[in-house]
Structure 1
Amino acid sequence: MRDRFHDRKKLIEIIKKNRDKLKWENRKELPSDYFIKCSSCKDILIAGMVEDNLHLCPKCGFHLRMPLKKRLDYLFDDYELKQDKVEYKNRIDYPGYLEKLEQLKESTGTDEAVKWGVGMIGDDKVCFFALDPVFLMGSMGSYVGEQVTKAFEYATENKLPILGISASGGARMQEGIFSLMQMAKTMGAIKRFYDKKLFYLSLLTHPTTGGVSASFALMGDINIAEPGALIGFAGPRVIKETIGEELPVGFQTSEFVCESGFIDMVVSRRDLRKTIEKLMEMHQQKVGCGI
């Protein structure tokens, strides 16, 4: 993306002079890959500037979606991916599922919703897994559950701490009961990991919901989240309709969940790298709290 903004100063000058024309309803008149809209303050932003700003809105600070590769490049000094080759399967004969997977592979440039491997954060060797919301909203199907399990098994065998990065709509409905079974499968791997007194740091990003939040995402020794992330099981609308009451302001945001005691801290993306590095240093003796 950087090549498109080689004359960024000139572009900014043009935008400032024509600010009144930069209305979202006029976006068809603008180069589509030059501008994006902040989903919080609704301001129109220069895409390249947002990219250079860790995908934070320069106006309101909202944490926009950060591409998974860029997130891994930001958090790790170096890393190696280890996940298995993807083989698409339609276990419950869900109509159009295989075709949907192939279309997503072509349009997103990734073949599934999870990556895992081993990397270096400062002086610490760390195992990691990360969910990618661009692929079926980071939903957890059989492949995702298997790879998260393998990440914990690898960390257990090699006595490594593990960093989990979650961004998911939850269980993958196209795989039915096979998706729900991944909750138990991953939790079993976490139990064996904790039996070895190892350290699991869980990072929750927007959104972390459903079967993912109800299983491995909230099972860290320490759970941290980015500001403003949606964290919960069912959505606010479903909960409101179920209990028949108005929900508190900010319900299910990371700040609300932190105040309620479900996560330990909310950390700005600017401070994530140094915070994670410090936590890994503090636990380099690899003594986890266990479950």
Structure 2
Amino acid sequence: MNKCSKCGTIQYSKELEKNLKVCPACGYHMRLNAMERIAMVLDEQGFVEHDADMISVNPLDFPGYSNKLEQQRLKSGLKEAVITGEGTIEGLPVVVAVMSFDFFTGSMGSVVGEKITRAIELATEKRLPLIIFSTSGGARMQESILSLMQMAKTSAALSRLDEQGGLYISVITDPTTGGVSASFASLGDINIAEPGAVFGFAGRIVIEQTIRQKLPDDFQTAEFNMQHGQLDLVVHRKELRATLGKLLDMHSEKGGV
């Protein structure tokens, strides 16, 4: 049994999974881990993971970081906060990077930045579309400047992809904040978000305390960002695969591009 964190409705786990972890009572989009997202969006048996053995270490000897990394791997069943690779969506080839909030709140350290950069470079080399599914609490503070430099690194790689005319679709899921929102998550040729997804840089409380003003109730939601020009589409999870398939088809050789 699962309880919706928004409306409190109790759902059978199997029924919730059939509904792609969207609450049938209120439409709340619950969080998916990276493997759930891959299974939902990509064609069955069409995904080949890359750089699966890359894991974070403790380059700055930050106290307790090594132990936390091991705990996160055991707890989440993941090696890192992002899974990258190649697959197909409705038969169309694509390079993907899929982040998972379950691992260290999806924070971006040097390995996350490197894996995403390699995915971008692969898409550039093979002239394939790139889709990044973002969810993150921001930069991984235990890696300090090594984490922050990933913002510039991923953005520079995307610039090279853009120069070659490559297609990059950014899919924002709940939540996407901090350094990830301020870098590759915002740089898509097409920026899409799931309904209700939080998408912003600093947290709501921090902003309110800084500007000493009350923010709108829907501040930083996907719908708010859509109204203010930050997003191109807000797409229900049930329609996401089909929407991505249409966009890929439009930009494929078959689609006349």
State the Cα deviation string for residues 211-239 of structure 1 (Å, max 9, x = none): 00000001000000000000000011111
Unaligned segments of structure 1, at least 5 residues: 1-34
Query: Distance in 1 between the 2:109 and 2:141 partners?
Result: 8
Q: SS state of the match for residue 185, structure 2? A: helix
Query: Distance in 2 between the 1:143 and 1:232 partners?
Result: 23
Q: Residue 235 of structure 1 is aligned with which of 203, 226, 231? A: 203
Asked if 1:38 is matched to 2:8, the reply is no
Q: Which letter maps to 1:231?
A: F
CA contact (8 A) 1:140 1:170 kept: yes
1:259 corresponding residue in structure 2: 227
* TM-score, normalised via structure 2 length: 0.95
Unaligned segments of structure 2, at least 5 residues: none
Shift of 1:95: 1.0
Q: Residue 20 of structure 2 is aligned with which of 46, 54, 74? A: 54
The alignment yields a C-alpha RMSD, in angstroms, of 1.4
Query: Distance in 2 between the 1:85 and 1:140 partners?
Result: 17
Asked if 1:116 is matched to 2:84, the reply is yes
CA contact (8 A) 2:105 2:136 kept: yes
* TM-score, normalised via structure 1 length: 0.85
Q: Which letter maps to 2:224?
A: F
Shift of 1:153: 0.4
Q: SS state of the match for residue 116, structure 1? A: strand
CA contact (8 A) 1:89 1:98 kept: yes
Query: Distance in 1 between the 2:96 and 2:167 partners?
Result: 12
Larger RCO (CA within 8 A; separation ≥ 6): 2
CA contact (8 A) 1:240 1:246 kept: yes
Identity %: 48
Q: SS state of the match for residue 193, structure 1? A: helix
Shift of 1:286: 10
Q: SS state of the match for residue 237, structure 1? A: helix
Q: Residue 72 of structure 1 is aligned with which of 18, 29, 38? A: 38
2:160 corresponding residue in structure 1: 192
Query: Distance in 1 between the 2:11 and 2:136 partners?
Result: 25
Q: Residue 135 of structure 1 is aligned with which of 103, 109, 115? A: 103
Query: Distance in 2 between the 1:47 and 1:72 partners?
Result: 19
State the Cα deviation string for residues 125-171 of structure 1 (Å, max 9, x = none): 10110111100011000000000000000000000010110011110
Q: Which letter maps to 2:16?
A: V
Q: Which letter maps to 1:284?
A: S
Q: Which of structure 1's runs of 4+ aligned residues deviate more than 4 A?
A: none
2:141 corresponding residue in structure 1: 173
Q: SS state of the match for residue 5, structure 2? A: coil
Shift of 1:99: 0.5
1:11 corresponding residue in structure 2: none
Q: SS state of the match for residue 133, structure 2? A: strand
Q: SS state of the match for residue 191, structure 2? A: strand
